[in-house]
Structures are given as structure tokens and as C-alpha cells.
């Protein structure tokens, strides 16, 4: 089914793609938008339905490296997509 095509396994744990998660929360009336996106830095903001408070998350290569995420080879081939995720 289409829904199962959006599930993948990381170290034995099922997960969903970031864009699938965004579509899911947007379908419930919440807002998510990209403020800035490049291979070096991605800034994503969101607002819960019915709230005026905005939450912003910024990920750059240094933060991803410090967190130990850049060992994933996708950071070399698709850094912008990985920072968004």
C-alpha cells in the first residue's frame, strides 16, 4: 500500500520520511514551512493549529556533525534533504 511505501527501518526501528510527517501534521490543520534551505543550513518553522506561537528549528552541518548524524553517507550526497529531515 502507499502508506507502507513511506515507512523505512533505521537500526531495526520503523520510521517515516520527514516529508510524510509534515504532510501528516498539515492534514490535521497545523502549519509547517521552510524559512531557509541550502546544503549548509535548513530552517523550518511550524505553528500548532489554533496557536499564534511559532516554533523554529535550525539544523546546519556543524550541528549534524556534532550530533553524530553525518556518518550517514546521505549527508555527502543529499545534505539539504538530510538537514531538513
Give the residue-averaged pLDDT of 29-42. 97
- Write out the DSSP string of 15-43: EE-HHHHHHHHHHTT-EEEEEEE-SSEEE
5 domain-assigned: no
DSSP 8-state secondary structure symbol assigned to residue 85: -
9 domain-assigned: no
- Report the number of distinct structural domains present in the chain: 1
79 domain-assigned: yes
pLDDT greater than 90 at residue 31: yes
pLDDT greater than 60 at residue 84: yes
Three-state secondary-structure class, residue 83 = helix
Sheet with 41-47: list strands edge to edge: 31-37, 41-47, 54-60
Domain carrying residue 63 = 18-84
The per-residue pLDDT for 5 is 74
Please report, for residues 31, 47, 80, the alpha-carbon distance to residue 24 in angstroms, rounded to integers and kept in the order given. Answer: 11, 14, 21
3 domain-assigned: no
What percentage of residues in the chain have a pLDDT greater than 90? Answer: 76
pLDDT greater than 90 at residue 3: no
49 domain-assigned: yes
4 domain-assigned: no
6 domain-assigned: no
Query: Global pTM?
Result: 0.83
Confidence of residue 39 (pLDDT cuts 50, 70, 90): very high
Amino acid at each position: 500500500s502507499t502508506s507502507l511505501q513511506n515507512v523505512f527501518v533505521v537500526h531495526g526501528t520503523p520510521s517515516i520520511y520527514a516529508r510524510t510527517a509534515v504532510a501528516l501534521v498539515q492534514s490535521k490543520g497545523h502549519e509547517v514551512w521552510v524559512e531557509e534551505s541550502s546544503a549548509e543550513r535548513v530552517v523550518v518553522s511550524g505553528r500548532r493549529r489554533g496557536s499564534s506561537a511559532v516554533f523554529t528549528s535550525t539544523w546546519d552541518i556543524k550541528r549534524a556533525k556534532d550530533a553524530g548524524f553525518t556518518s550517514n553517507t546521505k549527508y555527502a550526497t543529499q545534505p539539504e534533504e538530510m538537514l531538513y529531515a
